[in-house]
Amino acid sequence: MTVFAIYCPCEPQSDAARKAVHAIYDWLHTIIAQLPERTTIVLLGDFNARTGRYNNVMQTSSVGPEYLQQENFNGQQMRYFLDSFNMSALNTWQHTAAGATNISPSGQGSRVDYVCMPRSQKHVVQKLSIWRKAGRLLQVIRIAQPRNVNNTNNNRTPTGIIRRCRPPAAFGEFCKDLENWRVQPSTENAIQQSLQNGTPDSTWGLINGHILNIAKQHFSKKIISPAAHFRSETTKKLHELAQQDYSQLRHTRPLQLRGPTSEDRHSIFHAWKTVTELRQADKKYWKSV
């Protein structure tokens, strides 16, 4: 079995961008064509492709009937590729896995991620599903706003992901230290030697290791909850009340063997009620995001 993890750029808007998508599929075609025929191929990827409808008809067995979307350019290239190798996008055939895999901040969903296997091996897959809640949380970066890859606003940042960093001072210092490391002659010599004598993996390990070391100096001591930046004022007040009640409860005198008094029971019930209201407020807020 050979597993590929693939990422394709967002929907191309120029000839150069379309050539880049063609280059990815050409490279993938060359690699797979060299594998033995007995190899089971699995493609796991963010193809940024919308599939399902093209020319208002369904004429392929590589894309199933679940969660039909109007096909875009990336979807067309993916369909051509799957047809050429007799493969199928599994999450277009199973209802539990056919929904949206990307949710924009506006709440609009689209399916851009796919699990692909040879059509002859479809029967071996017993279950396929989407972790919708986990997928949503992964789109919230600790130092960035939720990303919106469907936004066509020309004023967005080049990456289309990081809009505003928290805290900006720490991120600025991180970029400064990273640039200072990059321009050092010893860094350039080490990378050149790794490229000449090592492998792409060793070179990537060298670069990634230094970046992580610099990042740890600025961010490792600042543990920030991903949800902390998106709490409403009401939720924050409930958190404060719960913390106060919890502190009072910790300093409550030990209960006697005769059982808790009415005052103790009232304090415990009040703390439990506050925590319950807090959890309900969190659930209500996350559902509205």
Residue listed under structure tokens 């350019």: 73
Judge whether residue 27 has pLDDT over 80.
yes
Q: Which of 2-11, 143-152, 174-183 has the lowest mean pLDDT?
A: 143-152
**What is d(CA 53, CA 59) in angstroms, rounded to the nearest whole number?**
9
- What are 277's two structure tokens? 């209201």
More confident residue, 31 or 145: 31
More confident residue, 144 or 123: 123
160: left (phi over 0), alpha (psi -120 to 50) or beta: left
Question: How high does pLDDT run on average in the chain?
Answer: 76
Which pLDDT tens digit goes with each residue over 196-243? 887 777 788 888 888 888 888 877 654 455 555 556 777 788 888 888
Indicate if 129 and 47 belong to the same structural domain.
yes
Indicate if 248 and 206 belong to the same structural domain.
no
Please give, one letter per residue, the 3-state secondary structure of 247-261.
HHHHCCCCCCCCCCC
**What is d(CA 230, CA 226) in angstroms, rounded to the nearest whole number?**
8
Neighbours of 36 (CB within 10 A): 6
Indicate if 129 and 105 belong to the same structural domain.
yes
What domain range is 122 assigned to? 2-138
Which pLDDT tens digit goes with each residue over 244-286? 887 877 777 665 555 556 777 777 778 888 888 888 887 777 7
Indicate if 207 and 276 belong to the same structural domain.
no
- What are 212's two structure tokens? 């992580």
Q: Tally the C-alpha atoms within 13 A of residue 84's C-alpha that lie toward its C-beta.
A: 13
Indicate if 28 and 100 belong to the same structural domain.
yes
Indicate if 203 and 239 belong to the same structural domain.
no
Classify residue 254: in a domain, yes or no. yes
Indicate if 108 and 38 belong to the same structural domain.
yes
Classify residue 180: in a domain, yes or no. yes
Indicate if 240 and 198 belong to the same structural domain.
no
More confident residue, 218 or 78: 78
Judge whether residue 105 has pLDDT over 60.
yes
Judge whether residue 17 has pLDDT over 70.
yes
Classify residue 67: in a domain, yes or no. yes
Indicate if 13 and 38 belong to the same structural domain.
yes
The predicted pLDDT at position 250 comes to 73
The predicted pLDDT at position 145 comes to 43
Indicate if 202 and 278 belong to the same structural domain.
no
**pTM recorded for the entire structure:** 0.47
CATH number at residue 14: 3.60.10.10
Share of the chain above pLDDT 90, in %: 7
Distances (CA, A) of 203 to 67, 186, 211, 260, 261: 41, 14, 13, 65, 67
Q: How many folded domains does the chain comprise?
A: 3
Classify residue 215: in a domain, yes or no. yes
Classify residue 158: in a domain, yes or no. no
Judge whether residue 154 has pLDDT over 80.
no
The predicted pLDDT at position 43 comes to 92
Cis status, amide bond into 167, omega within 30 of 0: yes
Average pLDDT over residues 176-189: 88
The predicted pLDDT at position 259 comes to 57
Classify residue 148: in a domain, yes or no. no
